[in-house]
Structure 1
Amino acid sequence: MASVFKKTYVRPMPANAEIVSRQGKQIARWTDGKGRKRSAEVTTGKDGSPRIKTEASTYTAKYRDGEGIVREVATGCRDKQAAKTKLAELLSIADKVRVGSITTTDLKIGDHNKIPLADHIAQYITDLKTRGVNADRIKTSETRLKAACDGCGFRWLRDLNADALRKWLRGQPEMSAATYNWHVTLWTAFGNWLTGIRLQGKRPSQTGERRLTSNPFDGFGKRDEKSDRKRVARSLTRDEMQRLLDIAQRRPLQDALTVRRGKNAGKQVAKVPDARRAKLERLGTERALIYKTLILTGLRSNELRTLRKSDLSFGDVPFLILKSSNEKNRKGSTVPLKSDLAADLRAWVADKAPGDLIFNVPTGLLRILNRDLIAAGIDKVDENEGRIHLHALRHSTGTHLSAAGVSPRTAQAVMRHSDIALTMNTYTDERLLETSAAVEHLPTLSVSSDAPMDAPNPVQAGQNSPSLTESDKATRDRESTKKPSDSQGMLSFRKWAIENSNLWPLPCESSALTN
């Protein structure tokens, strides 16, 4: 039988309680922290100590659900009649489940609608962590989800809708197409998670708890990143790369030697102790090696931060090992080392322990790079709005691989790209490619300056053509009779073109386009 009641709880005896007898029962009386007088029946706990029984302030509904299971549900009602109304709703839902009008899954989805959206986001972030997603990506995802919720007014699952998100995204004037698409991908993934879709490796499956019946962001359109890039990276030229390395190696000591005020302001005459001088020189060498390693390996700065001496191999073919946990795509890679870079790294780590980091990559490396660019006289932003930043060093890797004639597939492997179009388009600065030299590798074709406009009939001219039989001559005469509108010159040209067409392929030549 369904009913509503107030639950009773057993609590420890208040320290200032006074026990009195009333109608054959022991009653505890005390004053609570707010100065109110309270009383409760005394009972004995399992350990034999006196305790008090207290009654809940709200009613609980007890009933049998649609699957025949007895449930106790807190109504949240202080009024008994209101609690009975809530019980009637629960009984009505149980009847609908029994007759198949709704399912238990629908009921659970309804329960999730009562949970604040912030709690769902927190559980989604926890799921990302258990799946081993990159920590930086998780942090960015959480920050952007919360920012969009605040901007769109999303508080509950029922608030989620694509139109509100689209309006908010379009209202961010400084947002690039790449960031816009990042938000779209994030909210689509979150929507899939809410519908119970889970990823096992790269395979999606409907194995999670369903919180929504459908993804409200499914089919959300993206913007064209190629035509709306806010920060287009530009590659460094050979001269700029060398100037950058030179100034990076010298600048720490030069800054220490430079006098900032007084009559010698701007002059490098400050006194620097030998110990500090050696430390600054080593710091400069480390910065130059950081830039050189980024340029000649295509490593990302966060990947470089994780490398240790034990990740280096200086055998016949030098390379470094990038662990899957430290790589962006989480696959793990073996990165080849250019011979001169390998020699520099061997000398640099000679006195390090196997577990030591190769470089102490500063968190403010971008700020340091900007200062090095100024000191080297290199424009950070060129006339085409191309910018030099840390990731532009990786762009320089791809560009100079292409400029050196490295095959696209090999360049893709060096850059560790899943899509060759990314290597050839995004990570190759076409302005630095030697296009004029490349076209010189195309086949040499000759065109005679005195070629006749009306080519001679090779039969008439006797040019390497077998003599015609009587039947061939008759056929030729018939063809001339059939098409009186064609001039004799046009017929001659056609025969000449057919018999002298280029039936043989041009000789293959070594070409940058085929490498």
Structure 2
Amino acid sequence: MPDEPGVAAHGTVVVPRRPSARTINAKLGTLTTFGNWLVETGRIVANPFDRLCKSAGVDGSDDIRRKRRALTADELRRLLVVARLRPVAEYGRGTIRVVDDTRPKSSRATWRKLDLTFDTIVAAAARGRERLARRPDVLDRLERLGRERALLYLVLVTTGLRKGELASLTVADVVLDDARPVMTLRAADAKSGEAAVLPLTPEAADALRHWLDERVEGVCRRRVGTAGVVSPRAADPLFTIPEKLVKILDRDIVAAGIPKSDDRGRTVDVHALRGTFASHLARAGVAPVTLKTMMRHARIETTLKHYTDPRLLDVDSALDTLPALLAGPGPDAEPVKATGTDAAVALVPLLVLESGRAVPRVSVGDNCTGRGDCVVIDATAAPGTTSGGKAGKTEGWLTGLEPATPRITI
């Protein structure tokens, strides 16, 4: 359970949130393990925590603290553009005067920077390059930072890697010379504890080739390392993952015009890129078993319940694949009526009361009322007669009934 309310350093009362179901169950599991150790070592006779765990355990299936949404293809394109340009564009932001009569006109507080948007970021980046023209080292560093950040997002959304797994990759883990470029995730770095080989999309592989070539040029330019070594070492990290990547992504999605949360309360964060990977695969029609394998999950339920956004799935196209059920049997069939029946004469089994017992009957024709042209046939009547008094015309079996059904006459 949460701790008692406390007071922060600045005087604000802080009420701790109730721990999640996973946290509660993990702590109960620790207590159970400790109790089992006490029993095995002869310190106590029975585990006192067994009953506690059964009564206090929480079902965590519905206790989801954060629901994430998948990004659309258009949102992903805007995000990659903003991530590449924003480090330089920050130096090219325009200013706007803030009307504040309480401050002197010369005060810096009467001016503020304009917010970056997707429509203005290209022009802001151009102004930033002009302002940094006399500082080529800073400009080069910021340009490189933007390319790395965009590549981070691209790899996350095309491989389904987690943030920690991506940070563990080294230069040696990327194989770009094979027919199908891949990344190798070591078992010690994977959340599941199992090694994995992740195929790369062509555009991700090309971007990684350019990235490694750029690093080679940087090594040669700085003359780092021993003579003849013109490439990064195999053990060097593939990327430099910033500690505040979550906040950086928040600023990027604001500049890209991407809402942080939607009308369902689903949010966008770094881990949402993994769900975006799964949702786009599901939308493309990838089989669930294949999707589970690519997500490296032990159970398919985890993939389908937590990592596929139903709003991104093409439900309308899925419905279009269903066959037409109200079409006629052939090209010469009569048009289908709005009532769901065609113009053919229908045999509709009825149950009517006659002489105090249930008698099966058959209606012939539309809008049958038992009078006029309508013929109501008693399946138990004598051949050649009908309950409507007309002479029968045809003799046959009730369609769809067993051969033992009495022969009727129409």
The C-alpha deviation readout for 1:143-202, integer Å capped at 9, x for no partner, is xxxx97x76xxxxxxxxxxxxxxxxxxxx7743xxx52222321232123213369xxxx
Q: 1:221 maps to which residue?
A: 57
Distance 1:208 1:398, change over 3 A: farther
Identify which of 129, 141, 147 aligns with 1:279: 141
The residue aligned with 2:31 is: 191
The one-letter amino acid of 1:496's match is T
Partner of 1:338: 201
Which of 260, 273, 276 is matched with 1:393 structurally?
A: 273
Normalising by structure 1, we get a TM-score of 0.52
SS in 2 for 1:321: strand
1:260 & 1:212 partners in 2: Cα distance? 74
> Which residue of 405, 412, 423 maps to 2:303?
423
Partner of 1:301: 163
Is contact 1:456–1:492 with CA below 8 Å preserved after alignment?
no
Tell me the distance in 2 between the aligned counterparts of 1:210 and 1:332. 41
Moved more, 288-297 or 206-215: 206-215
Q: Provide, for residues 193-212 of structure 1, a one-character-per-residue CA deviation record: whole Å limited to 9, x for no partner.
A: 213369xxxxxxx9677667
CA distance in 1, matches of 2:138, 2:395: 90
Are the structure 2 counterparts of residues 184 and 210 from structure 1 closer, same or farther at C-alpha, using a change threshold of 3 Å? Answer: farther
* Amino acid of the structure 1 residue aligned with 2:76: M
Match of 1:353 in 2: 233
Secondary structure class of the residue paired with 1:218 = helix
Question: 1:496 is matched with which residue: 384, 388, 399?
Answer: 399
CA distance in 1, matches of 2:236, 2:313: 39
Query: What is the distance in 1 between the residues matched to 2:344 and 2:186?
Result: 68
**Secondary structure of the residue that 2:208 maps to in structure 1?**
helix
State the secondary structure of the residue aligned to 2:268.
coil
CA shift in 2, pair 1:487/1:236, >3 Å:
farther
Structure-1 separation of matches of 2:200 and 2:86: 26
Question: Where does residue 319 of structure 1 map in the other structure?
Answer: 182
Counterpart of 1:325 in 2: which secondary structure?
A: helix
In the alignment, does 2:317 pair up with 1:455?
Answer: no
Contact 1:309 1:357 (8 Å CA) reproduced: yes
Q: Which runs of no fewer than 5 residues in structure 2 stay unpaired?
A: 5-14, 97-107, 115-123, 217-231, 329-335, 337-341, 350-377, 403-410
Report matched runs for 1:89-488 at 5 Å: 174-175=17-18, 179-196=19-36, 213-216=46-49, 217-219=52-54, 220-226=56-62, 228-258=63-93, 266=114, 268=127, 271-272=131-132, 273-314=135-176, 315-350=178-213, 351=216, 352-448=232-328, 449=336, 450-452=342-344, 454-455=346-347, 480=380
Offset of residue 297 of structure 1: 0.6
Q: Alignment identity in percent? A: 30
- How big is the shift at 1:224? 4.9
Contact map agreement 1:311 1:322 (CA 8 A) in 2 = yes
Instruction: Please give the secondary structure, in 1, of the residue aligned with 2:183.
Output: strand
1:246/1:288 contact within 8 Å kept: yes
Say whether the 8 Å CA contact 1:234–1:396 is kept in structure 2: yes
Which amino acid counterpart does residue 241 of structure 1 have in structure 2?
Answer: L
Q: Which deviates more, 186-195 or 403-412?
A: 186-195
CA distance in 1, matches of 2:64, 2:345: 52
Partner deviation per Cα, 1:16-37 (whole Å, 9 max, x = no partner): xxxxxxxxxxxxxxxxxxxxxx
Cα distance change, pair 274–211 in 1 and its aligned pair in 2 (3 A)? farther
Q: What is the RMSD computed on CA atoms of the aligned residues?
A: 3.6
Secondary structure, in 3 states, of the residue corresponding to 1:349?
A: helix
Amino acid corresponding to residue 209 of structure 2 in structure 1: R
1:349 shift after superposition: 2.1
- Considering Cα pairs closer than 8 Å and 6+ residues apart, tell me whether 1 or 2 has the greater RCO: 2
Which residue of 1 is the match for residue 365 of structure 2? none
C-alpha separation between the residues in 1 aligned to 2:161 and 2:152? 10
1:278: how far off? 1.6
The 3-state SS of whatever aligns with 2:138 is helix
Deviation at 1:494, TM superposition (A): 7.6
Question: Which structure has the greater CA radius of gyration?
Answer: 1
User: Residues 493 and 401 of structure 1: is their aligned pair in 2 closer, same or farther, counting only changes over 3 Å?
Assistant: farther
| Whole-Å separation in 1 of the counterparts to 2:264 and 2:77 | 22
Measured after TM superposition, the shift of residue 382 of structure 1 is: 1.4
Note the alpha carbon deviations across 1:77-135, whole angstroms, 9 max, x for none. xxxxxxxxxxxxxxxxxxxxxxxxxxxxxxxxxxxxxxxxxxxxxxxxxxxxxxxxxxx
Change (3 A) 1:306 1:417: same
Q: Are the equivalent residues in 2 in contact too, given 1:402–1:411 (CA < 8 A)?
A: yes
Contact 1:395–1:428, Cα closer than 8 Å, also in 2? yes
Corresponding letter in the other structure for 1:370: D
Normalising by the residue count of structure 2, what TM-score does the alignment of the two structures yield? 0.64
User: Given that residues 29 and 53 in structure 2 are in contact (C-alpha distance below 8 angstroms), is that contact kept between their aligned partners in structure 1?
Assistant: no
2:395 and 2:27 map into 1 onto residues whose CA distance is 70
Matched residues, number? 300
Deviations 1:290-313 (A, max 9, x none): 011111111110110000011112
When residues 383 and 207 of structure 1 are mapped into structure 2, their CA distance, relative to the original with a 3 A threshold, is same
In structure 2, distance between residues paired with 1:400 and 1:332: 24
Structure 1 residue matching 2:197: 3-state secondary structure: strand
Structure 1 contact 402–428 (Cα < 8 Å) conserved: yes
Structure 1, residues 48-105: CA drift from partner, whole Å, max 9, x if none? Answer: xxxxxxxxxxxxxxxxxxxxxxxxxxxxxxxxxxxxxxxxxxxxxxxxxxxxxxxxxx
